Structure 1
């Protein structure tokens, strides 16, 4: 087969793929994503359903047909940035450029509204962005460890200036493991969908996010008088007392269900166990199971109560020690939980292993943590003397609540926690060097 023939074949494939993507977008914008079937798209593009699936493996993929182009553009923004431009500035400028494209093109804006207004597409978009995290993190780490990269305290590009002392040069030396963790966190937060900005100017959100990543949290809570209390209503109510018989029975039932679920999932795998089997193993009804776990099967391995978790987060902020930052208080709380706990029980370790090995459970764990974003942000703002809707406080809360997911499947979750908290405290690239002891 000649090269010319191969070229025609590839061009034909590209035209077919584009025709399918164009037909899908037209139908989705006209009728809504949920009201359009794959068969509708195939008929509009004049292809068979099987032919459509050769180009797009899922319905969601029909909307995101430029994923490879986005990834290439994103990584190139950091790797091929102009000389002297810090990598974080290059990444911020890339985000802002995409926002300008969206505002300048009504079709692009309509596409963005379609995604944000459709839960299935929003979840797919989140996963798509996270898929770029690793490659972007590698580019960021390379940008800071490259000897020809701009130095944060020296001339742009090239080797350190001739007047730098050996101590100065040593201070700039990066620990590769620390750099990799910090770069992954910056990639995660820099690519975050930033839903906190849906009610305001998205450009302002991007600017605030990258200012936080570059300079860290300014810790305004430390400048408030020690005797000053948070506004009334900002603090959670104290517990009424030890749980009664009914609450204890509820806790026992909840624990029995989670233990049965974990045992079955561990034995046979998450995908091969049904909800009815779990209910039978826990000696309860399906109705009772869903009463305790309304989110269904994906939530069955998480014994904790979401409201209690949120109360512990806000309590850590409100009840921190005098002179302690909110980030250090949250570090202390997280260090005792989930993947950060130093000596988990065998049962706790089984849950951790199961979550790490199951994508659906990892996604649910992340959503469960970030569900506390708004109350945690309000607590941070209250303790810092900031408006209740302060954007930086909301971003800080969102990023802190993603640390457990970042640390999962790492060799040293506790060190990951310390490095990411340091990133949020001091910013990038200052966090690449171990903080000086007090």
Structure 2
């Protein structure tokens, strides 16, 4: 990559992040539906056509924060160490996320993260769009696991388990527990869930 190309890519990434940050700030302050695209463009100091070059929908401006995790399960399986079973690698990866209190695991008590999750979970259109993200992840994981309906079923099961675990962890935090307090139970739940998957797969 040339220096010019690299600079252009970084500038685009900054613009994309600025738009998403402006949108999420407005959504958290006023709710998702009341905020217009024009208001977001003005807050991000870009034109409306520029905004739509980066994001096709308002929903994508929120779910942009999930982009770093897109295809993550498939990457874990493809890049696992020799001799490690796919399910063991996925469990280990999820457990590491719990230990780091990554927002994607639901085990994060930062107020902004809690507000962001509440926005996603309580906005129907965001839930629908998030489902499409999950379906894309499911396709990628199925391809990494193999071919045929067995791999597709396994991929669907893994992502369903991770979704339930994350939502359960988030609810614990909402109910007043800190991430540190909820961590042991979250780890135990993950162990139980992946063991049940392992029993079913074998």
Q: CA deviation at 1:206?
A: 4.0
Q: CA deviation at 1:97?
A: 4.1
Q: Is the 8 A contact 2:71 2:141 kept in 1?
A: no
Cα gap change, 1:52 to 1:76, in 2 (>3 Å): same
Q: Is the 8 A contact 1:101 1:108 kept in 2?
A: no
Choose the corresponding residue for 1:109, options 109, 114, 117: 114
Q: Is the 8 A contact 1:190 1:209 kept in 2?
A: no
Normalised to the residue count of structure 1, the TM-score between the two structures is 0.37
Q: Is the 8 A contact 1:194 1:205 kept in 2?
A: no
Between Structure 1 and Structure 2, the one with more helix by share is 2
What residue number does 2:150 align with?
A: 182
Question: Secondary structure of the equivalent of 1:35?
Answer: coil
What residue number does 1:127 align with?
A: 132
What residue number does 1:56 align with?
A: 55
Q: Is the 8 A contact 1:78 1:87 kept in 2?
A: yes
- Greater RCO (CA < 8 Å, at least 6 residues apart): 2
Q: CA deviation at 1:68?
A: 4.4
Structure 2 unaligned residues grouped into runs of 5+: 173-181
Q: CA RMSD in A?
A: 2.7
Q: CA deviation at 1:20?
A: 0.5
Aligned residue pairs: how many? 180
Q: Is the 8 A contact 2:71 2:137 kept in 1?
A: no
What residue number does 2:177 align with?
A: none
Q: For each residue in 1:29-50, what CA deviation from the matched residue of structure 2 results, as whole angstroms up to 9, or x when unmatched?
A: 2222223222221111001111
Cα gap change, 1:95 to 1:30, in 2 (>3 Å): farther
Cα gap change, 1:205 to 1:118, in 2 (>3 Å): farther
Choose the corresponding residue for 1:191, options 159, 177, 202: 159
Q: CA deviation at 1:19?
A: 0.6
Q: CA deviation at 1:67?
A: 4.6
Question: How is 1:9-408 mapped onto 2 (pairs within 5 angstroms)?
Answer: 9-99=8-98, 100-102=101-103, 103-104=107-108, 106=110, 107-141=112-146, 180-192=148-160, 193-194=163-164, 197=168, 203=186, 206-215=190-199
Q: Distance in 2 between matches of 1:189 and 1:92?
A: 13
Q: Is the 8 A contact 2:71 2:140 kept in 1?
A: no
Q: CA deviation at 1:12?
A: 1.6
Question: Secondary structure of the equivalent of 1:12?
Answer: helix
Q: Distance in 1 between matches of 2:190 and 2:35?
A: 33
Structure 1 unaligned residues grouped into runs of 5+: 142-178, 216-426, 431-438
Q: For each residue in 1:220-278, what CA deviation from the matched residue of structure 2 results, as whole angstroms up to 9, or x when unmatched?
A: xxxxxxxxxxxxxxxxxxxxxxxxxxxxxxxxxxxxxxxxxxxxxxxxxxxxxxxxxxx
What residue number does 1:262 align with?
A: none
Q: Distance in 2 between matches of 1:43 and 1:207?
A: 47
Q: Distance in 2 between matches of 1:90 and 1:64?
A: 26
